[in-house]
Amino acid sequence: MKCFPRGFGGKRTDQETVRREGWFKSEILVISATDPRLTWPERELIQQLGTRLFGKKKRVSP
């Protein structure tokens, strides 16, 4: 007996592979502003680009 409907089981692709393929195939870049591989100026640039393209982040009140 199968636990999942056909097409929904199996191995999942990890996030880093999806990001890499998105860049190579479609020139889509997905970057976390907290990625430890980035330097401080690079993280700031990501923050500035995100704010420019999508606006400021909304604060969530507790």
Residue 57 carries which DSSP code?
Answer: P
Burial class from Cβ neighbours inside 10 Å (0-12, 13-18, 19+) for residue 50 reads: middle
pTM of the shown model: 0.66
CB 24 within 8 A of CB 16: no
pLDDT tens-digit readout, 18-43: 999 999 999 999 999 999 999 999 99
How far apart CA 57 and CA 38 sit, in angstroms, is 21
Mean pLDDT of the chain: 87
Q: pLDDT at position 1, please?
A: 52
- The pLDDT assigned to 36 comes to 95
Map tokens 């199968």 to a residue: 2
